[in-house]
Amino acid sequence: MKKILFLSGAAFLVSMTLAFSQDHPAQQVSEQDPYRTHLMNMYGNAGMKYAFDKQKPARWKKWQKELRTELSRTLGLDVIEKACEGFKPTASRTDSEDLGWCTRERWMIQTEPDILLPIVIMRPKGLDGRKVPLMITPHGHGKNTESYAGVYHSEKERAQGEEGERNVAVQAAQHGFIAIAPTARGFGKTRNEKDLKDDKTSSCQDLMLRDALVGRTPVGDRVWDIMKIIDWALENLPVDGKNIIVSGNSGGGTATFYAGAMDTRISQSLPASAFCGYEESIGLIVHCACNYVPGVMRLGDMGDIAGLTAPRAFCAINGVKDNIFPIEGARRTFETVRKVYEAAGVPENCALYEGPEGHRYYKDGAWEFILSHLK
């Protein structure tokens, strides 16, 4: 049985080829890889104004308020909010299918005045008007934006999705939750016209560049979409507002991570295959452009951002063999998360689950945590 790891304060060795401390002096230029040397020095000088290690633990609430305000600006959420002042999300159902044990419905939700976002809603049968937990399951990179809801286009795709346990919305409905699997902005029907015609996986790079012109980011767009889905669901679905869980893998884990930090209505945030130190992961390893939030390291590291979830439940799900979110970086960064939750008086509300394989979802770790933290 795999287990959830509640990390102690014991020191551990982080590979010097990956980790980099703010306290380290500038690295000497390497003839073998001068570009990497430059990157490491650049990250070391980022400042990380709101790094929790620089704060007084007793002021953690004030620290959260200040960092969340700055992060909202950095993500571009303030830009979206101003453009959408007075806007209220609406949705319409396009089709529904009976799976026997639940219904699977396709909807289009308007998250901005000019944005229609496809979502799939999984409704367990037999609710009889009862309010149940809501789970939002943002997907990762791939052409099939409905795979988390158990929709597959081939047997090969089905095998890959189920072996990697990425059918997260199906899992949620099987546990009696209402699940919403949204299309991530820049994927599926939300791709630009050329990428749709060329059948490209996503329009992430294009979205990143266009957003940058006005101070927005793809991450901010996706967080906004999750927030508007919550707005709509609370008014239109029989969901328990005390139990709103968000969990997705890879790119969906990134959306989960930032949404949990920004929206305090989210009671549990479980990013999978997405949590690490910025330096060890997206700083030194090639990732999709949508992972990058300009200026975020001037605020803090991923552990500091995750600390915004406290005292609400947070569980990072990582594979020990994940080669794009190295486990050493996840362990190092989780130490910061642990310190924030200790300052908040709820160390039991955060966890790092280590799965035995690579870049995938681990439902054993996810559901053990979710079920034990329901309100």
Alpha carbon separation from 148 to 138, 139, 220, 240, 371 (Å, rounded): 8, 7, 21, 22, 19
312 dihedral zone (left: phi>0; alpha: psi -120 to 50; beta): beta
The pLDDT, as a whole number, for residue 33 is 86
**CA count, 13 A, side-chain hemisphere, 168:** 32
Q: Mark the ranges of the chain whose per-residue pLDDT is less than 70.
A: 1-31
Residue 17 pLDDT = 33
According to the model, what pLDDT value does residue 351 have? 98
* One-letter amino acid for residue 165 of the chain: E
Task: State pTM to two decimals.
Answer: 0.91
Q: What is d(CA 72, CA 84) in angstroms, rounded to the nearest whole number?
A: 15
Closest-CA residue to 339 (of 372, 292, 301, 296): 301
Per-residue pLDDT tens over the stretch 311-360: 999 999 999 999 999 999 999 999 999 999 999 999 999 999 999 999 99
Q: Is residue 27 part of a domain?
A: no
Sequence-ordered list of residues with C-beta below 8 angstroms from that of 31, at least 6 positions apart, any chain: none
Residue 241 is classified by DSSP as: E
The reply to whether 237 falls in a domain is yes
Domain membership flag for residue 16: no
| Residue 24, CA atoms < 13 Å, CB-side half-sphere | 14
Check if the beta carbon of residue 353 is closer than 8 Å to that of residue 330.
Answer: no
Domain CATH for 139: 3.40.50.1820
Domain assignment present for residue 195? The answer is yes
Structural domains in the chain (count)? 1
Task: State the pLDDT at residue 160.
Answer: 87
Tokens of 287: 């990732």
Q: Which helix (H) or strand (E) holds 327?
A: helix 327-343
CA 366 from centre of chain:
14
Domain extent for 287: 44-372
- The reported pLDDT for the residue numbered 28 is 52
Residue 316 lies in a domain: yes
Cα-Cα-Cα-Cα dihedral sign, residues 3, 8, 14, 18: positive
Q: From the CB of residue 36, how many other CB atoms can be counted at a distance below 10 Å?
A: 15
- Classify residue 24: in a domain, yes or no: no
What are the angstrom distances between the C-alpha of 202 and each of 9, 137, 173, 194, 359? 41, 18, 27, 11, 19
Residue 168 lies inside a defined structural domain of this protein: yes
Do 166 and 140 meet the contact criterion of CB atoms below 8 Å apart? yes
> What's the confidence (pLDDT) of residue 30?
54
In a domain, 278, yes or no: yes
How many other CB atoms sit within 10 Å of the CB of residue 69? 11
